[in-house]
Structure 1
Amino acid sequence: MQFLGMLSSNVAAVTAAVACLHWTASAQSTNSSSGLAIQLSVANNFLNGTTDGHVTVMFAPSGTDPLEDTDVTSSPNLFFGMNVFGVSAAKTMTLASTNAINAVTGVWGFPVVSLNDVPAGNYSVQAYFTKYEKVNRSDGSSISVHFPCGDGAPNVDGFGSLTTAVLNVSISGDPQSVDLVFNNITATEAFTGKEIGGCSQGNYEDTENLKYVKIRSEALSKFWGRSMYVGANILLPAGYDPNDTETRYPVIYSQGHWPADAGPFRYPSANFSDAWDNGTIPAENGKPARPTPKMIMVSFRHETPFYDDSYGVNTANLGPYGDAINDELIPYIEKNFKTIPEPYARIQIGGSTGGWISAASAIFRPDLFGACFSSYPDSLDFHRHQDIPLYTNTNAYLRANGSAIPSIRDFENDTQVILATVAQENHWELTFGTQSRSSLQWDVWNTVFGVQALNGYPLEPWNKVTGEIYPYAVEYWKHLDLANYIVTNWNNSRNLGKVLSGRLYIYVGTWDDYFLNEGVQEFQKRTDAIGGAGWANITILPEKPHGGNYQSREIWDSLELFYDWIQDHGPNGTTPLAKNVTLASARGNNFTEVLAYGGHQAALQRQSPPSITGGDHCDGAGGCVFQASVGRWDPGVSLEAQWLISGKPVGEVFEVAQGDSLSYAPTTATKRSSIQLQVTGRKLGYVDETRKSNGIQLRR
């Protein structure tokens, strides 16, 4: 497949800026290493047969562990990645840059794109091989991905990955080869062979108040064509007695990233565990000692082949995770623990990723959950996807004036400092995987919010290298634009204007590290416009960054707030949750509809071949004109066309674009000739495809 021979000037400028901002490796010279190649081989007994996968090579400052800091905002490393195919112990893999940068079949680097640009100097170099497994999903799509093994789906060096030893290397600046051997395999500290239930979503050893459950999801297993599991960490209140047949407890479902063996609150105050286990909140902040709220708290374990978290909804790329959690795992929890199985007693909370999940869960399943308390959620309205005006901008990396769109920030002495741009994060992600397989943030948004592409992977909303936005692909995000979903289902059969009123509580700070306040503000603007000011309970606190508990409360204060809401909306409360707002008719995100909208069959239906019309009353020697369309292709596919007369090419191949209308007047055809248009499409990660139009017979 062809790729852009050279980066666009804008992207090249962004890449250069990245190098200036983030690369601080201790090189001895600024001379580049033209002709640098990395030779990779696999030691005996480390591979059975052949496999596809992705190789990442890191150059760290000499004497440092390359894995010590791999973050885009701070790492001193140079990162290089390449997809590999049919790897065996007998095959040597070569990473070497050429003038044509190809992020799928060639080497892609960050913050310098090419291996030829590695400055001369001393480095500690290590390589990591993420092995892919090919799966055939039930909707007819086939993809190759890495399945996590109870390790939270890390972006590099995950369970089962092959690694090389760290090699100290002096890069000379002249043509040079560095030889690395994959001679180790990554295990996970989580499992020692005694885990309950095996690798996927593995369980941990129970403690008195912290229990672990895991189930095989029938829905997910059917979709993926292999066994898939979901799990939960369950924190029981003090005094919980499994033999007590009378006492039941409300449940707080805490959403967020993969929690490993931790409880729902992974970063509590120092005295949280003791107080929870003892059942008494100590006197603090002017409040007397008091009993802990008697609730069960649950966090989920649902890492996926694309990220450490599925986002808790049904999606075309990840499958029915919403159904697996809500219709399989939660009923299992309610069967085995003393819960109150009513919507008013099921509350969703979470921050960041968990903030979006908690909001989406309450919005899509008002029949199941009473309310959400969502903190600094990922983009609730894609008019602002972080700081990208996704529906109106032409580029995800650049504003109209050519300045870079920021992604991560901090505030120093009340002054905003940009730590990374959208381009930098996306280019960094490419070194860990293509086709949205990096297991990092922007890629999982493509995976969750988008639909399937023709090749089975997520239909990405923009060109990962240049940032060019594909409006046609972005249009398919609207079904998971939560503001759009609410307003388009406001007074129809779902009746969300009434059903969700007073049940959505959302908090963010104006200094959010990831600009997530902007999506919350857009959400508020759209819901207020149709429901009146305050339809959703939204708190935007000045100068608060990303992180912390809901409304920046102390942990016990926030838990008591949730508990009070449950008491107020229970059958004996001051404002009981009405039965007519928890009906199944309000349920959304139906997986059958999701697949029909964005699955593999939908991707096939989006396509069409070229077509040709016209040519009436041709005399075969000219004087007639044919009109043609180039057909429908996935966004981002580059197209070349050629006219055919009686199946044979005529004239030169020429470039065309999606939506083009063409005309052609043949000059050399005979009366028995037929005319066709042939179009070839190419895109990164796709197999080159040639489609032909219908043929029209020339006639006198």
Structure 2
Amino acid sequence: MLYRTFAAVVLFGLGLGWFAEPARLSSAQPQAKPSGLKFEVKIAADQVGRNPESGRVLVAIGPKNGEPNFTNYHPPVLPVLGTDADAFTADKTVTLDAASDVFPAGGLEKLPAGEYTVRAVFATNRDINLPSAPGNRSSKTMKVKLDPAAGTTVTLTLEQGLGQDAQVPKETATHKYLSLPSKLLSDFHGRPMAYRVGVVLPPDFQKEPARKYGLLVHIGGFGSRYTHAAGIGADPRFVQILVDGAGPWGDPYHVDSANNGPYGQALTTEVIPHIERTYRCLGTAQSRFTTGGSTGGWVSLALQVFYPEFFNGCWSQCPDSVTFERFELIDIYRDANAYVNSFGVDRPGTRTVDGDTISSVRHECQLERVLGRGGNWHLSGRDWASWNATYGPKGKDGLPVPLWDGRTGAIDRSVVEHWKKYDLKLHLEKNWATLGPKLAGGKVNVWVGDADDYFLNAAVRRFKDSTDRLKSPKFDGTIIIEARKGHSSGGWTRKEMLDAMEKRMK
């Protein structure tokens, strides 16, 4: 599927939610007349544990010669079903059919008769909001014949626990994978929490024990795991780290937020000081840099803007929406509905370079409603839910407050004010008198294609128009909008970026 990641010269590259009982649950999707397809999910006795758990039961249908995919919304799609299970024990059966939450809408009844694969997952992990998270239970993938007209019933047994997270690669002389206990995150969440980070050391790190290095913080595309640091090449000038894109509500976006907690503080006061002490970094503001694309594009820019004297430059490519005047194509300050635009047309969410619509916001959020506990898109752990948890407020029930109604798309105006602090355009405009001098000298570098798959160029265009008007001091960063480029990389090569960082260190 498209994960809002992108192909890049340097690595920039299920839904479950919080499994305490949510008090705020949106209405389930309209009850469809049950089709002939039915999935009965059981859990093996040895997978129940001492205290039966509650969570989200998901069933995904895949192609006959492939694995089911729980998170793909990019056509062609096959159905995914979801429903809640409370205190799931071996004597219970959870049934999913067309009356359950189903993606795509009506997709179960329309499924052509034929051979498929199916798999069930019981998602319970509170700390890593992914279908593959350790502790979740899974059935084995089964090959089946499905026919909606024939009344097919498939029984799936959750007989295996998912083990070690993220398939940690074997460490080498240059590549390390750390899980660092975080007091800040643990205190916020009320349970032990770790900050995961991949480390890439210079090639001669062991041979030059007296040498010190700059620090480059990589942030990957949406959901990129810290283990993807294996794909980052070592550089003789920098210790490089890749932060983890998995957290309790989805990708935590590595800034302080009401729902995720103090990820920005944890990075700057716990993780980076530990890395710099352990791996002989220079440990100065002049020697620290950020870079990333897509999710990493937004985070790298946000870290530079929110911590202007802690980092000495960001190189951001195709960043997620840098102003919510264009949250993709949604203007959260003016629009009444996230799913339908002012012309009464379903709002596109993904497009081709030539402008053809691939998927709509409604379509994408339907999948998130299936994945999220209680049929709630904002608990799914996917793209829209992760943004909502990062930028939005926490409700009295301890859950992220949804920006819009998952069924209708109607925007909740009472939530919008809280989002403004994460609108990077507004943040610069309001605070330029103090931020301007701290960001002077070319610290901000942004690139986007003007045919971005997710319309992210619209926000960057407004960001550029705004920064062009900033004065005292005049904005001296670089913002590039390149013609006929999609959600990819551009503006500079990896070598050009690293050379520019080295020059700034001196």
> Residue 540 and residue 330 in structure 1: after superposition, are their counterparts in 2 closer, same or farther (change >3 A)?
same
Q: Which moved more, 1:322-331 or 1:208-217?
A: 208-217
Is 1:72 matched up with 2:73?
Answer: yes
Q: Is the 8 A contact 2:60 2:70 kept in 1?
A: no
Whole-Å Cα distance in 1 between the matches of residues 326 and 111 of structure 2? 38
- Kindly tell me the number of residue pairs found equivalent between the two proteins: 474
> Residue 294 and residue 170 in structure 1: after superposition, are their counterparts in 2 closer, same or farther (change >3 A)?
closer
Is 1:500 matched up with 2:439?
Answer: yes
Whole-Å Cα distance in 2 between the matches of residues 265 and 364 of structure 1? 28
Aligned to 1:129: 121
Q: Secondary structure, in 3 states, of the residue corresponding to 2:411?
A: coil
Is 1:314 matched up with 2:245?
Answer: no
Among 467, 484, 491, the alignment partner of 2:426 is 484
Q: Secondary structure, in 3 states, of the residue corresponding to 2:286?
A: helix
TM-score by length of 2: 0.86
Mapping of residues 145-160 of structure 1, within 5 Å = 146-148=126-128, 153-154=129-130, 156-160=131-135
Q: Secondary structure, in 3 states, of the residue corresponding to 1:51?
A: coil
Aligned to 1:215: 180
Is 1:250 matched up with 2:209?
Answer: no
Is 1:186 matched up with 2:150?
Answer: no
Cα deviation code 1:617-643 (max 9, x no counterpart): xxxxxxxxxxxxxxxxxxxxxxxxxxx
Aligned to 2:103: 110
Q: Is the 8 A contact 1:508 1:517 kept in 2?
A: yes
Cα deviation code 1:116-152 (max 9, x no counterpart): x3446234353423333xxxxxxxxxxxx6323xxxx
Whole-Å Cα distance in 1 between the matches of residues 62 and 34 of structure 2? 16
Give 1:70 deviation, angstroms: 4.8
Q: Is the 8 A contact 2:80 2:103 kept in 1?
A: yes
> Residue 58 and residue 262 in structure 1: after superposition, are their counterparts in 2 closer, same or farther (change >3 A)?
closer
Give 1:33 deviation, angstroms: 6.1
Among 470, 483, 487, the alignment partner of 1:546 is 487
Whole-Å Cα distance in 2 between the matches of residues 120 and 204 of structure 1? 40
Q: Secondary structure, in 3 states, of the residue corresponding to 1:489?
A: helix
Aligned to 2:469: 529
> Residue 184 and residue 204 in structure 1: after superposition, are their counterparts in 2 closer, same or farther (change >3 A)?
closer
Q: Is the 8 A contact 1:33 1:173 kept in 2?
A: no
Whole-Å Cα distance in 2 between the matches of residues 347 and 3 of structure 1? 42
Give 1:564 deviation, angstroms: 2.2
AA partner of residue 109 (structure 1): V
**Identity across matched positions, percent:** 27
Q: Is the 8 A contact 2:320 2:456 kept in 1?
A: yes
Whole-Å Cα distance in 1 between the matches of residues 103 and 290 of structure 2? 38
> Residue 3 and residue 322 in structure 1: after superposition, are their counterparts in 2 closer, same or farther (change >3 A)?
closer
Among 371, 386, 406, the alignment partner of 1:444 is 386
> Residue 60 and residue 545 in structure 1: after superposition, are their counterparts in 2 closer, same or farther (change >3 A)?
same
Whole-Å Cα distance in 1 between the matches of residues 178 and 97 of structure 2? 47
Give 1:390 deviation, angstroms: 1.8
Aligned to 1:234: 199
Give 1:157 deviation, angstroms: 3.9
> Residue 75 and residue 83 in structure 1: after superposition, are their counterparts in 2 closer, same or farther (change >3 A)?
farther
Greater helix percent: which structure?
2
Among 360, 365, 378, the alignment partner of 2:320 is 378
Q: Is the 8 A contact 2:101 2:370 kept in 1?
A: yes
Whole-Å Cα distance in 1 between the matches of residues 35 and 170 of structure 2? 53
Q: Secondary structure, in 3 states, of the residue corresponding to 2:45?
A: coil
Q: Secondary structure, in 3 states, of the residue corresponding to 2:394?
A: coil
Give 1:232 deviation, angstroms: 2.4
Whole-Å Cα distance in 2 between the matches of residues 5 and 215 of structure 1? 39
Cα deviation code 1:183-239 (max 9, x no counterpart): 233334855xxxxxxxxxxx7543122233332101111111211111322222233
Q: Secondary structure, in 3 states, of the residue corresponding to 2:197?
A: strand
Give 1:64 deviation, angstroms: 3.2
Among 287, 295, 308, the alignment partner of 1:353 is 295
Q: Secondary structure, in 3 states, of the residue corresponding to 2:393?
A: coil
Is 1:366 matched up with 2:345?
Answer: no
Give 1:467 deviation, angstroms: 1.1
Q: Is the 8 A contact 1:60 1:123 kept in 2?
A: no
Q: Is the 8 A contact 1:355 1:376 kept in 2?
A: yes
Aligned to 1:329: 271
Give 1:68 deviation, angstroms: 5.6
Give 1:242 deviation, angstroms: 7.0
AA partner of residue 217 (structure 2): Y
Give 1:35 deviation, angstroms: 5.4
Whole-Å Cα distance in 1 between the matches of residues 178 and 396 of structure 2? 37
Aligned to 1:173: 149
Greater strand percent: which structure?
1
Q: Secondary structure, in 3 states, of the residue corresponding to 2:156?
A: strand
Give 1:77 deviation, angstroms: 1.0
Give 1:168 deviation, angstroms: 0.7
Larger Rg: 1
Cα deviation code 1:521-560 (max 9, x no counterpart): 1222233333387544211111122122x51x33223322
Aligned to 1:510: 450
Whole-Å Cα distance in 2 between the matches of residues 333 and 5 of structure 1? 46
User: Could you say which structure has the greater relative contact order, defined with CA pairs below 8 angstroms and 6 or more residues apart?
Assistant: 2
* Structure 1: runs of 5 or more not aligned: 13-31, 99-106, 133-144, 192-202, 267-272, 277-291, 568-700
Aligned to 1:678: none
Cα deviation code 1:669-691 (max 9, x no counterpart): xxxxxxxxxxxxxxxxxxxxxxx
AA partner of residue 147 (structure 1): D
Give 1:56 deviation, angstroms: 1.2
Is 1:163 matched up with 2:162?
Answer: no
> Residue 453 and residue 298 in structure 1: after superposition, are their counterparts in 2 closer, same or farther (change >3 A)?
same
Whole-Å Cα distance in 2 between the matches of residues 506 and 264 of structure 1? 25
Q: Secondary structure, in 3 states, of the residue corresponding to 1:350?
A: strand
Whole-Å Cα distance in 1 between the matches of residues 112 and 197 of structure 2? 49
> Residue 251 and residue 121 in structure 1: after superposition, are their counterparts in 2 closer, same or farther (change >3 A)?
same
Is 1:206 matched up with 2:206?
Answer: no
* Structure 2: runs of 5 or more not aligned: 1-23
Aligned to 1:28: none
Aligned to 1:298: 241
